[in-house]
């Protein structure tokens, strides 16, 4: 089980971390902005975390004679997700010192522009600014930032894990050719 988790977790983690390293400079250049950057980021997460499905299927077919319970599949999938999520958060910590402040400023500007477009009053903007500044101050703490970054990707992996475990527990779903 450990081998499958490491192989597929490292593949998924390499994809999300690699894309982060590729796309972060694109924010600085203006090629990506907050809106299309989120689409690229979450699409990358879904593609990378598809390794959960392939990892669970590999474990089921190669080590479990083509049969796996929901909970065993869930365990493999969530551990693959954990490996990928940690790699993603570590990549953000590597990128953050050089590009993170600029990106966070762009996110802040975008957030307040959207509030203005939605008709927020000056009092609402001021109240939001106070909360926003408090959150940005907390975000400077690497442990808090690491946890927040984990929470960006982990729910995506949890969803894919639940779907994969539900489908692959059925031995007739994409059965192994060997069994």
Looking at the 3D structure of the chain, how many domains does it have?
Answer: 1
Tell whether 94 is covered by a domain.
Answer: yes
Q: What is the rounded end-to-end Cα distance, in angstroms, of the chain?
A: 19
The model's confidence at residue 179, banded by pLDDT at 50, 70 and 90, is low
Tell whether 174 is covered by a domain.
Answer: no
For 67, half-sphere exposure in the C-beta direction (CA atoms, 13 angstrom radius) is: 1
Tell whether 15 is covered by a domain.
Answer: yes
Q: What is the mean pLDDT of residues 113-135?
A: 92
Q: Among 162, 178, 172, which Cα is nearest to 71's?
A: 162
Tell whether 179 is covered by a domain.
Answer: no
The model's confidence at residue 41, banded by pLDDT at 50, 70 and 90, is very high
> Which residues have a Cβ under 8 Å from the Cβ of 12 and sit 6 or more positions away?
48, 49, 50, 51, 52, 80, 81, 83, 84, 87
Q: What is the pLDDT of residues 49-69, one digit of tens each?
A: 999 999 999 999 999 999 999
Tell whether 59 is covered by a domain.
Answer: yes
Tell whether 100 is covered by a domain.
Answer: yes
Tell whether 177 is covered by a domain.
Answer: no
Domain with 33, as residue range(s), is 2-168
Rounded Cα gap, residues 113 and 103, in angstroms = 15
Tell whether 70 is covered by a domain.
Answer: yes
Q: Output the pLDDT for position 166.
A: 97
CB of 50 closer than 8 Å to CB of 160: yes
Residue 55, both tokens: 């990892």
CB of 128 closer than 8 Å to CB of 120: yes
Q: What is the pLDDT of residues 62-109, one digit of tens each?
A: 999 999 999 999 999 999 999 999 999 999 999 998 887 778 888 888
Rounded Cα gap, residues 22 and 88, in angstroms = 13
Reported pTM? 0.89
């Amino acid at each position: 089980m450990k081998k499958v988790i490491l192989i597929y977790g490292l593949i998924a983690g390499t994809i999300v971390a690699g894309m982060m390293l590729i796309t972060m400079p694109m924010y600085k250049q203006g090629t990506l902005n907050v809106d299309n950057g989120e689409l690229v980021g979450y699409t990358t997460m879904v593609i990378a975390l598809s390794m959960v499905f392939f990892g669970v299927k590999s474990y089921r077919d190669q080590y479990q004679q083509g049969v796996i319970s929901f909970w065993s599949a869930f365990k493999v999938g969530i551990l693959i997700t954990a490996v990928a999520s940690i790699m993603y958060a570590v990549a953000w910590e590597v990128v953050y010192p050089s590009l993170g402040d600029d990106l966070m400023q762009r996110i802040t500007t975008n957030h307040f522009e959207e509030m203005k477009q939605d008709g927020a009053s000056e009092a609402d903007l001021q109240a939001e600014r106070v909360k926003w500044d408090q959150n940005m101050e907390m975000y400077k703490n690497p442990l808090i930032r690491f946890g927040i970054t984990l929470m960006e990707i982990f729910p995506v992996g949890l969803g894919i894990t639940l779907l994969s475990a539900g489908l692959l527990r059925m031995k007739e779903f994409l059965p192994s050719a060997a069994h």
